[in-house]
Amino acid sequence: MISREQFREIMDNGIWHQNSSLIQILGLCPLLAVTTTLVNGVMLSLATIIVMAVANVAVATLRNLIPHEIRIPVFILIVAALVTVVDLVFNAYFHELYLVLGIFIPLIVTNCIVLARVEAFANKNPPLQSLLDGVFTGVGLLWTLALLGGLRELIGAGTLFSGIDMVFPALHGLQLLPADYPGLLLAILPPGAFILLGCLIAWKNWVEARAVARRPDSGADHALPVALADGA
Amino acid sequence: MEFISTPPFLLLERSSVRRVMLQVLLALLPGIAAYVWLIGPAIVVQLAIATLAAVLGEALMLALRRKPLALFLSDGSAIVSAWLIALSFPPLAPWWLIVVGTLLAIVVAKHLYGGLGQNPFNPAMVAFSACIVSFPALMSQWPALGLQLSFGEQFQLIAGLLPRIDAMSGATPLDALKTALKLGDGQVDVPTLLATQDVFGHFAGRGWEWVAGGYLLGGLWMWQRKLITWHAPFGFLAGLSLLAAALWAWNPQQFADPLFHLLSGGAMLGAFFIVTDPVSGCTTPRGKLIFGLLAGVLAYIIRVFGGFPDGVAFAVLLMNLCVPLIDMYSQPPIFGLKDAP
């Protein structure tokens, strides 16, 4: 089974310390393209969480059977099968949202967060830990994309939760700012996503730096996490 | 109170940033005077709004960054950025537009990159580009020619108390020419347009040509005072006019003459006050020339073939990106050596 400390570590890493968007800077393509509204960001994150959790369990279960040399193609096959399922589910139950998210649901296959978790964690750990890792990495992605999407939507259009009727037909988006708010179009466009992501990363580093400064015992040896980019 | 201990050999020119910035502001005055003559006091109101926003934004960021307020606030660099923003925005734009632009310049383009002397992009041009991308309609509404508004009406327009009416606004001469050519679809030619349409004057846009002349005057004064060198402005104007001349010589029916382009849009303001920015521009003499030349060429391409009314801002930002490369390849040779290192 799993110890309390192990659970905590997996949770902390997934949600905060190794946050896929703010620290690992992985999966930038959906991050930049989809987070024009909060609902889009959250729904794509949910799709990614499902894929990641199930893929992690599947790979962890099969990890002793998969030949090391061809593990990457096998991982991709597993992930692709799951994404196909999610893709069809979205198409059937949230058709309007499916049209909005478009290519980015199939592209979860090539999302490096998914492949990174499968390769770096599930391939070396038992199924339960891998499940938790997949879920919590996804939760880290979820709150980042929700925050980014919410900020961009609010600054760019003055609304929040617009398009929620695509998920829950009974609900409507909120018009938070006055209706004649002109909207800073830049926030909706891709450059705005880059600028706001930069601000979020700066905010996280600031929070960490303050936490380090406040800790009385170990100040110097706990270096700041450095964001290393790869893209995708 | 002294914050910085200066080496003895610098003591003669104390707080030289402030002196330079004050002289740049002085050099802008002829252009502003022509602007006031053309549009009215609205531009002065915009300059005041921009200055206030810039000083507040600067003070806020300095306080956040725990830097000495008085020292950096009094250097005047924020005010220069603010004035350049006010002069490049439409003069009757609502007050919040200029505030958003100025705050973007000071907070994002200047202080997030490290403050005075650290910004890789020209703050004023960042503000203009961000706003024209974000608010294309408002940023293209220039006062229509011959629009006679009292000071009170202009003030109310800026404050957002009067509704905006389409008849009040027109395109810039550059935009008017581009739109007319596009609509004409090969049937209209530039000489006829320039001669018949009201918006065009002797050389370029009616009235705007004198504003450009004012900037030219201020720029030449700065050159004479050795605040700027000739390289960047000459390169910019040469790049712009050489490409314009080539296309004009090839097809004078579809392309305006170089003089029109030199006196239109942000060309003169850009040549003397934007590409000469010592922070975001090149530092070597040859580098400045190359920087200006390529910026001029890009500005022409973007303003004539692109979708936006003018190309100076985008051209300058694109060239800002190339500055480290140009600087690296344009190092002057070390004294005593034949070739550059």
Percent of chain A having pLDDT more than 70? Answer: 93
* Amino acid at site A194: F
- Predicted confidence (pLDDT) at residue A232 exceeds the cutoff of 50: no
Point out the domain boundary residue: B170, B186, B211.
Answer: B170
- Predicted confidence (pLDDT) at residue B1 exceeds the cutoff of 70: no
Q: Inspect the interface and report whether the beta carbons of A182 and B130 lie closer than 8 Å.
A: no
Mean pLDDT (whole number) for B66-92: 88
**Tokens representing B66?**
């725990």
Q: Is B100 an 8 Å CB contact of chain A?
A: yes
Pairs across A and B, CB distance < 8 A: 17
Residues of B in contact with A187 (CB under 8 A): 134
Whether residue B166 sits in one domain with residue B17: yes
Q: DSSP letters along B41-63, please?
A: THHHHHHHHHHHHHHHHHHHHHH
User: What pLDDT sits at residue B9?
Assistant: 52
Q: Inspect the interface and report whether the beta carbons of B130 and A189 lie closer than 8 Å.
A: no
User: What pLDDT sits at residue A76?
Assistant: 92
Q: Tell whether ipTM is more than 0.90.
A: no
User: What pLDDT sits at residue B251?
Assistant: 87
Q: Give A20's contacts (C-beta < 8 A, 6+ positions apart).
A: A26, A27, A113, A116, A137, A140, A141, A144
The chain B residue lying nearest A185, using CA atoms, is B134
Q: Give B330's contacts (C-beta < 8 A, 6+ positions apart).
A: B282, B284, B285, B286, B287, B290
- Provide the pLDDT confidence category of residue B326 given band limits of 50, 70 and 90: very high
In a domain, B178, yes or no: yes
Percent of chain A having pLDDT more than 90? Answer: 34
Q: Inspect the interface and report whether the beta carbons of B100 and A186 lie closer than 8 Å.
A: no
The chain B residue lying nearest A198, using CA atoms, is B112
- Predicted confidence (pLDDT) at residue B177 exceeds the cutoff of 60: yes
- Predicted confidence (pLDDT) at residue B75 exceeds the cutoff of 90: no
Q: Name the least confident of A148-152, B6-10, B80-84, B327-331.
A: B6-10
Q: Name the least confident of A60-69, A167-176, B124-133, B281-290.
A: A167-176
Instruction: Report helix angle B231-250 to B285-305, nearest 10.
Output: 40
pLDDT digits 0-9 by tens, B51-69: 999 999 999 999 988 888 8
Q: Is B61 an 8 Å CB contact of chain A?
A: no
pLDDT digits 0-9 by tens, A83-128: 999 999 999 988 888 888 888 888 888 888 888 889 888 988 999 9
User: What pLDDT sits at residue B6?
Assistant: 52
Point out the domain boundary residue: B170, B197, B221.
Answer: B170
- Predicted confidence (pLDDT) at residue B112 exceeds the cutoff of 80: yes
- Provide the pLDDT confidence category of residue B5 given band limits of 50, 70 and 90: low
Q: Å from B256 to nearest chain A CA?
A: 32
pLDDT digits 0-9 by tens, A164-204: 877 777 777 777 777 777 778 888 888 888 889 988 999 99
User: What pLDDT sits at residue A161?
Assistant: 84
Point out the domain boundary residue: B138, B170, B202.
Answer: B170
**Tokens representing A47?**
């799709």
Q: Residue A198 and residue B325: Cα distance in Å, rounded?
A: 24
Cβ-based neighbour number of residue B3 at 10 Å: 9
Whether residue B255 sits in one domain with residue B117: no
Whether residue B139 sits in one domain with residue B45: yes
In a domain, B6, yes or no: no
Residue B169 dihedral angles phi and psi, to the nearest 5° = -110, 150
Q: Inspect the interface and report whether the beta carbons of A185 and B134 lie closer than 8 Å.
A: yes
The chain A residue lying nearest B100, using CA atoms, is A184
User: What pLDDT sits at residue A217?
Assistant: 62
- Predicted confidence (pLDDT) at residue A228 exceeds the cutoff of 50: no
Q: Which of A182, A189, A195 sits opposite B133 (nearest CB)?
A: A189
Tell me the CA distances in angstroms from B66 to A204, B14, B59, B69, B118, one per residue in order.
Answer: 20, 23, 10, 8, 17
Q: Inspect the interface and report whether the beta carbons of B133 and A184 lie closer than 8 Å.
A: no
Q: Inspect the interface and report whether the beta carbons of A184 and B108 lie closer than 8 Å.
A: no
User: Per CB distance under 8 Å, which residues of A are interface residues toward B?
Assistant: 182-187, 189, 191, 195
- Provide the pLDDT confidence category of residue B183 given band limits of 50, 70 and 90: confident
- Predicted confidence (pLDDT) at residue B90 exceeds the cutoff of 80: yes
Cβ-based neighbour number of residue B73 at 10 Å: 17
In a domain, B210, yes or no: yes
- Pick the more confident residue, B59 or A232: B59
Reported as half-sphere exposure (CB side, CA atoms, 13 A), residue B109 has a value of 27
- Provide the pLDDT confidence category of residue A230 given band limits of 50, 70 and 90: very low
Q: Inspect the interface and report whether the beta carbons of B134 and A186 lie closer than 8 Å.
A: yes
The chain A residue lying nearest B134, using CA atoms, is A185
Whether residue B258 sits in one domain with residue B290: yes
User: What pLDDT sits at residue A219?
Assistant: 47
The chain A residue lying nearest B129, using CA atoms, is A186
The chain A residue lying nearest B133, using CA atoms, is A186
- Predicted confidence (pLDDT) at residue B239 exceeds the cutoff of 70: yes
In a domain, B340, yes or no: no
Q: Is B135 an 8 Å CB contact of chain A?
A: yes
- Predicted confidence (pLDDT) at residue B327 exceeds the cutoff of 60: yes
Q: Inspect the interface and report whether the beta carbons of A186 and B133 lie closer than 8 Å.
A: yes
Q: Å from B54 to nearest chain A CA?
A: 19
Is B123 exposed, middle or buried (CB count within 10 Å of its CB: 0-12, 13-18, 19+)?
buried
Whether residue B208 sits in one domain with residue B111: no
In a domain, B39, yes or no: yes
Q: Inspect the interface and report whether the beta carbons of B108 and A195 lie closer than 8 Å.
A: yes
Q: Å from B317 to nearest chain A CA?
A: 14
Whether residue B153 sits in one domain with residue B179: no
pLDDT digits 0-9 by tens, B188-219: 777 777 777 777 777 777 778 889 999 999 99
Q: Å from B136 to nearest chain A CA?
A: 9
Q: Give B76's contacts (C-beta < 8 A, 6+ positions apart).
A: B17, B18, B21, B22, B25
CA pseudo-torsion sign A123, A125, A128, A133 = negative
User: What pLDDT sits at residue B314?
Assistant: 94
Q: Inspect the interface and report whether the beta carbons of B134 and A195 lie closer than 8 Å.
A: no
User: What pLDDT sits at residue A134?
Assistant: 92
Whether residue B222 sits in one domain with residue B267: yes
Which of B97, B111, B134 would best serve as a mutation to test chain A binding (most A beta carbons within 10 A)? B134
Residues of A in contact with B136 (CB under 8 A): 185
Mean pLDDT (whole number) for B20-26: 90
Helix (H) or strand (E) holding A102: none
- Pick the more confident residue, A178 or B264: B264
Q: Å from A171 to nearest chain B CA?
A: 29
Whether residue B223 sits in one domain with residue B160: no
In a domain, B165, yes or no: yes
- Provide the pLDDT confidence category of residue A53 given band limits of 50, 70 and 90: very high
Are the C-beta atoms of residues B280 and B84 closer than 8 Å to each other?
no
Whether residue B248 sits in one domain with residue B149: no
Whether residue B87 sits in one domain with residue B182: no
Task: Give me the number of domains chain B comprises.
Answer: 2
In a domain, B64, yes or no: yes
Q: Å from B8 to nearest chain A CA?
A: 38
Q: Inspect the interface and report whether the beta carbons of A182 and B138 lie closer than 8 Å.
A: yes
User: What pLDDT sits at residue A52?
Assistant: 92
Whether residue B210 sits in one domain with residue B64: no
Whether residue B144 sits in one domain with residue B198: no
- Provide the pLDDT confidence category of residue A229 given band limits of 50, 70 and 90: very low
Could you list the residue range(s) of the whole structural domain that residue B61 is in?
12-170
User: What pLDDT sits at residue B106?
Assistant: 94
Q: Residue B152 and residue B79: Cα distance in Å, rounded?
A: 25
Which of A152, A155, A181, A184 would best serve as a mutation to test chain B binding (most B beta carbons within 10 A)? A184
- Predicted confidence (pLDDT) at residue A1 exceeds the cutoff of 80: no
Instruction: Report helix angle A190-214 to A127-157, nearest 10.
Output: 120
The chain B residue lying nearest A199, using CA atoms, is B112
Residues of A in contact with B130 (CB under 8 A): 186
Q: Å from A71 to nearest chain B CA?
A: 42
Q: Is B64 an 8 Å CB contact of chain A?
A: no
- Predicted confidence (pLDDT) at residue B235 exceeds the cutoff of 90: yes
